[in-house]
Amino acid sequence: MLAISLLGHGAVLAAQEPLPQPRYSIKPSEVVLPEGVALGQYRRVIRPFANWTLICDENLKKKQRVCNITQTIIDERGAMAFSWSLAGTSNGNPIMIIRVPASVGKGNPVQISFSSQKNPVNAKTEDCDQTICLILLPVGPVLREQINKQVDVRITYANPENGDGPVVIGTTLKGLPTALAAIK
């Protein structure tokens, strides 16, 4: 009985003391809800595959699902050096959304070389914000063939922040067909 009384008294004292400045806070969701979608009505599923990540977002109310398959290459500091996502356009055509650092700049070339093909694919950055520049590359017969062969890839671009010359990144398409087959 005495122990209960002491515990009760301590709780009253603690409730009267001012709260200290918060050291901790609730981390908000990393998933940004589309406009008009209520909390709890949106689901993101992330499935890792070899070298690629399948990300599917679903509006549960409308029963609509949108998926992309992404690969991100980081530098020694952990910053994004190159990223690409296989996605579908609104009319269902496949497209590669390519991201490079914003310091590459708008209108500058990015070369994509495939190990099984003599001629590289040359693209230019189309739009940039403060963090990235984008390239939208339609998936035609050449890229489709390279994906199916799961070839190694070399990405080359100039970056003014890299004083040592062009940035050259090695990566692979291995695992992309498996992730693509998982979309049902």
Distance from C-alpha of 169 to C-alpha of 123, rounded to nearest angstrom: 16
What is the pLDDT, as a whole number, of residue 2? 46
Predicted confidence at residue 12, as pLDDT, reads: 54
pLDDT on residue 1: 47
Amino acid 135: pLDDT: 97
Q: For the domain 37-181, what is the CATH superfamily, name and number?
A: Invasion associated locus B (IalB) protein (2.60.40.1880)
Strands (E), 3-161: 42-49, 52-59, 64-74, 80-88, 94-101, 109-114, 121-124, 127-128, 132-138, 152-157
Q: What is the pLDDT of residue 107?
A: 95
**20 is written with which tokens?**
């200290």
- Within 8 A by CB and 6+ apart from 19, the residues are none
Give the three-state DSSP class for 65.
strand
Split the chain (184 residues) into runs of 10 and give each run's mean pLDDT.
Answer: 49 64 85 90 95 96 94 94 94 94 95 94 96 96 95 93 84 96 87
Helix, coil or strand: residue 97: strand
Query: What residues does each domain of the chain span?
Result: 37-181
- Can you give the pLDDT at residue 9? 52
Q: Which residues pair with 132 in a beta bridge?
A: 101
Look up residue 116 and give its DSSP letter. Answer: T
Give the distance, in angstroms, between the CA of residue 76 and the centroid of all CA atoms in the same chain. Answer: 18
